[in-house]
Structure formats: C-alpha cells, structure tokens
Amino acid sequence: MSETQKNAAQNIDYEKERLEILKQYRGLLSVCRHWISKEEIKQIRKAFSFALQAHKDHRRKSGEPYIYHPISVGKIVVEEIGLGATSVVCSLLHDVVEDTDYTLTDISEYFDDEVARIIDGLTKISGIFDQTNSVQAENFRKMLLTLSDDVRVILIKLADRLHNMRTLDALPPKKQLKIANETLYLFAPLAHRLGFHTIKSELEDLALKYTDPEIYKSISRKLMESEEERNRLIANFTYPIKKALDEQNMQYTIIGRTKSISSIWGKMMKQEVPFDEVFDVFAIRIIIDTPEEREKTDCWRAYSIVTDIYRPNPDRLRDWISTPKANGYESLHTTVMSKQGKWVEVQIRSKRMDDVAEKGYAAHWKYKESKAAESGIDKWLNRIREILKTSEKDALDFIDDFKLNLFSDEIFVFTPKGELRTLPVGSTALDFAYSIHTKVGDQCLGAKVNHKLVPLSHPLKSGDQVEIITSVKQKPKSDWLNYVTTARAKGKIKSSLKEARKKVAEDGKEKLDRKLKQLKIENNQENIQKLVSHFKLQSPLDLYYDFAIDKLDIKDLKAYLSEQEKGGILSYLRNPFSKPAKTPAEKQQVDPIRQKLKEKPDTLLIGDSMEALDYTLSPCCNPIPGDDVFGFVTVNEGIKIHRNNCPNAVQLMSKFAYRIVKAKWYTGKAIAFLSGIKVRGIDDMGILNNITNMISSEYNLNIRSINIDSNAGTFEGTVMLYVNDTQHLNNLISKIKKIKGVKQVSRIGK
C-alpha cells in the first residue's frame, strides 16, 4: 500500500460507511419487495452477506467500498431492466470469482447451479473488456455464446457497464476515453438491439461526455436554458389532444420527452445545423392503457385524433405496430406541424408496448402470452448462433460483421408465397437467397424483384417481393463477396470458395512436390513457409493453389534459388532456403517505433523539434494545438495523431487499444497547422472578398485553398488555412459569423 493510500485509509469513517452500505442495501430490497417472495429475499440477503465479506478489503478507484458497485448493479437490473431475484443474486456476486479467492464451486455450494452458471458466464466475459487489451473475436464469441445460453448474463453485464459509465469520473482520462469508445462501439448498439432504448441513450450520452466534453456541456446547457419554453410548448401542444382523448373515454398517459444529448448532436452533425435549428428536440409519447386484443385499434384511433388536430408529414409515418422491429419494438410514429409552426414527433403505443420499448426482452418475459415476443428473441439468438458458426477467424472482420448485421436497421421483404423476412438495410438479392438456405444461395443465378429480373447485387427495399432463380450448375464466385452485406452470406460464400480452393490446391501440392524433387530440394514445412514468405502469400494453401493454376512454375523457383545464390554460395549450399544474416545496420532498423516507445514511455510531445519519434498529423481530422489528441502506432507510417473526437477514434480505441499512446501539444513555439472551415450564407456582392480579407488581413493567416459554390442566391464553401491553435481558429470563426450575409460557420470535421 502506498503512503497516500495509507493516509487515506486512516481518514476513513468506517461507521459512516457501514451505515451507508446498509442504506444502499435496504434501497435495493425496497425496489424488489413488491414482487419477490420471502424465500427470495433470504437468497438476496445471503448473496449480499457473501459479497460484503468477499469484497471487504476492496475499494473502487474513487476510494468508495467496492460493495457499492454490485448493489448498484442489482438496482439497475431490477428497476431499469426488470429482471428477477436470481439476477439480483448474480449481480451482487458478479465480481466475486474474478476478484477474490472464492471459486465457482463455492458459489455452487452456497447457492445453486443456476447462479453458478450465470456467474461463470459473467466471469468468462469480464476479461474481454479490461482496460489494457483490445477486443478480440474469440473472447467476443465466448460472450455471445454465453448470451445465447442465458440472456441474463449479457443483461447483468449491460447493467455493470452502465454503472461503470455513471462512475467513470474516478478513472484517469486515457482509461475514460478507452472505455467510452468501447461503450459506443459495442455496448450501446447491443443495448439498442436488445430493445433497451433508455439504457442505449444514456450510454451514448455518457460516452459523449468523455469523448467530446465541450459538445456535451454545450448541448446540456442549451437544454437547461430552453427547458421552461419547451415545457410551455409541450403543455400547449398536448392540451387539445388530452381534451379529444377524454371525449373518447380513452385511458391514457401523455409524456413529453426531451431527446438525448447524443441524439441531438447526431442530428446537428447529420443535418449540419446548429442546436436552435434541430426541429424535434422533444417528442410527445401517448401511452394507451388498453387490453392486448384492442391495442392496434386503439393506437390507430389515437393517431386519427392527433392528425385531426395537427397536420401530419406524410413522409414521416412509421408503423411498427403492424410490423414490429426485430428487437420487439412496437409503436406508431408520426411528425405533425404544431400551431407555433414547429414539427413535433408523436409516438403512440400501448402500455405493454411501452414496457417492452423501455425494458427490452426482459419485459417480453412478463407478457409470456405474446408468441411474437418469444419468437422474436429466439430469432435474434438464432442469428447470433449463425454468425458464430459462419464467421472467419479474423477478429476485426468478425466484430465488424457482427455489428453490421445485428445492430443495423432492418428492411422487410417477402417471398413469392408472401412470407415476411427481415434483413439488414443494404441487403441484396444474393443476401436474400442465402437467408433462405445455403444451397439456394450457392446455386443462385439471378432474382426477380417485384416480378422484374434483377442482378444478384440488386439492393432490396422494404416491401419488395423477391423470387430467386437457381441452377444446379451455378457455383459461388469470389466477386460475390462484393454483392453481399450479411455475415451469413459472406461466411457461406467464403466457406464454399475455400472448399473449392482446397480441392484445386491438392493438385497443386503434388505438382510443387514434383518440381522441388527436380531441383533436389527437400519438401518440408520450413522450406514451404520460406516460399510462402518470398512470394508474399498468406498460407501454404495459396502457394499450392498458385502452382495448380500455373500462376507459379519451376522458373519462379529457379529465380528464387538464383537470388539465394547471389546472397552467398556457402549459405546456399548448406540450405538453399536460408535467409542471409542481418547486418548490424539492418538490426538497428527493426521495429524502431516500439523500441523508442520503450525508451520514452512518457506522453508524446507534438511540435517538439527534439522529439525523436516519427509522427504525422492524421488528415481524417486535421488536429491542431488545443485539440485533445492521442497517438496511434501504425504498421508502416509511424505514429499518427488523431483528435479524441475523430470519426475513426471509436474503432481505433476499441479494436487497437494496445497501439494507443498518450499525446499532447508542445507549447514552446508557434507552428502553423492546416485546418479548415465550412461557410454558408447569402450570395451577396463582395461577401467572398470580406471573408478572405478577414482571414488574410486581420488575422494574417495563409490560405491554402478556397472552394465556393453558389446556388439560387445562397453559397456554401470550404476554406483550408494554416492556424496556430484551436483558440486562434475559434476566434476567427466568431469574427466570420459577424460578417453580413454569413449564416453558418463551422470547423471541418467537427
């Protein structure tokens, strides 16, 4: 224990902590009491005592007793996810096996096999998301396999991550960024896919708080400032709707909900508008309390009432009641014009639908009579199993395929017999063929979409009716991989191509063996591997295949031997495939970046002329002094510097955490850095001259390029220029905004 920790330990008020632990535990019991039995309360008490004893010497990074964390996870599991007593027990025990001397056998003896199995699943997946290693496919597969055994494992893990994100302030900035990006990359989409909209939104908001704190603070402040006006708008908007619903004797609740900060920021970036111009900052939700058999009718009745009062936007109607989303979400969405001239999104759903939307698949278990709900989760878990079976070994490809297929929006298409099938957005006719059966995909010649002949690569839209044309003579081709987006189709095509390639390679292996004998070279594993390396191939299979199709021949072997001979006749005679020894100069060039990083473990200083490490500023986000940045060790291009909120940061930090290095700006001298701004406004006489004068005369900045387009009285343009730092750039943006006719100025990439 360090001196600081000892001093902190001496200042702890243990009696106060004991009372706080009891208070939190009673809080957990109070949210459970109304639906669990006395026997289940005994089990929860037993789990709490066990966890309290196991973690008695453990503290969180904040200095708090560790037991606060499992109690909080238990509360989330009950209140926000809606799970039962077994899940509360497992939440209290979820870190015991990993962090203490207790084993799964102990858990099984003290509790039961079901609890032990869930704890085992949680322990197996905890190492995937530690704070040093990158996410790897094998571990991710383990997590998903566990999920498909018992979905409670992933739900407790989701609750665990949510509480960790709520208490992320205690960690150092580098770990905050890594965990926030990982949450955006995997956990938020997973929460979305399981139907936990509220949790997904909170995870995205909390991640934004650490990946782009300025944006988070700015939108939070604007939401607070506009709260009073928003509440007034909601009250005025809902008054006539309430009156009409009351006249129809409908039982309902109306809620005005502000959109999440991350959702608002997403709209600002997508639509390239400031906060004030995001038209649907809030949404109105009408929840109808009605029996399940009348849900659909009553929701459409409410829709009719709303659209009688306010004019709807016909392009914004979304009917997820007739065709629910794959995660079980059911609701009617429409956007209507308010009396104040603002568009307002209205969501209409039943009480059961709202419960499912807020608490995902856990809520489905409360409504077990709903067969659609049960089949929905079964279909989703089956799709996970399918991907686990067909995925390739490459870790990053696997995760990208997984995200693409399970976290994307869906389209709904029909077979010729009218059967409904769900596919990810962007799916093609060939994806549809493989979704029916592997054999149908492998033998697919073409397709008819809405009775018209289309190519295999034809993208499908919701409502399309698709008929697949097959032939027993057809076989998968390598270019088919460019025609598909689903992991199932990609996996099946790769598998078929690999099998065909293996058969051809068997002939190539015999052919190569004969040629090596001609040259009196032994056909052993070491020599084959050297040939693979020399010809820049991936594996011996590729080598055999190239010999089978005559891409390589004996002349290529002779050319290689000739090279070896020039390298040293003596070494050639001893072993024709030996590599010449590295010279001292060559040895010095081996992996210089990693060597220098070992010698200089501190933060990389950008702009320091004495800095020995090779780095470049990444063109994808054009960082400048004042931006929060990190370094990424590339394979061939040294270290690349990215902004923390760079569009590529999420993937880099999630996939390659071990290649991230801390970086900060050296402020010893002023250096010019390339940056860019986007300007929009009214195309008035002399406005371009006013902008360029502001940049070059008043601010003495060098302009690298200007690109301006005008259209029907408006203009839009980009200016690339050299600036000293973010403050310099922000001052310039503020000044340009004041020029008459300029309506919007923003930094490129922000």
Query: Which residues belong to the active site?
Result: 98-99
Q: What is the DSSP letter of 626?
A: T
Amino acid at 467: E
3-state secondary structure 134-169: CCCHHHHHHHHHHHHHCCHHHHHHHHHHHHHHHCHH
**Residue 519, SS3?**
coil
Q: How many other CB atoms are there within 10 angstroms of residue 664's CB atom?
A: 16
Outline where 194-273 has alpha helix (H): 197-211, 213-225, 227-247, 261-271
- Residue of 733, 708, 703, 732 lying closest to 718 (CA atoms): 708
Determine the Cα–Cα distance for residues 515 and 517; give it in Å rounded to an integer: 5
DSSP letter string over 252-308?
EEEEEEEPPHHHHHHHHHHHT--GGG-TTSEEEEEEE---GGGHHHHHHHHHHHHHH
For 652, residues 6+ apart whose C-beta sits below 8 A from its C-beta are: 181, 632, 642, 659, 660
Q: Show the tokens assigned to 89.
A: 């027990």
The residues near 348 (Cβ < 8 Å, ≥ 6 apart) are: 285, 286, 288, 299, 302, 303, 306, 331, 332, 333, 334
Number of Cβ atoms within 10 Å of the Cβ of 545: 22
- Indicate the pairing of strand 714-723 with strand 660-665: unpaired
Look up residue 65 and give its DSSP letter: B
Rounded Cα distance between 628 and 642, Å, is 9
DSSP state of 63: S
* Distance in angstroms (rounded) separating the CA atoms of residues 415 and 432: 9
Distance in Å from the first CA to the final CA of the chain = 44
Cα(673)–Cα(721) distance, integer angstroms: 8
Q: Concatenate the DSSP letters of all residues of 552-597 into one string.
A: S-HHHHHHHHHHHHHT-HHHHHH-TTPPPPPPHHHHHTSSHHHHHH
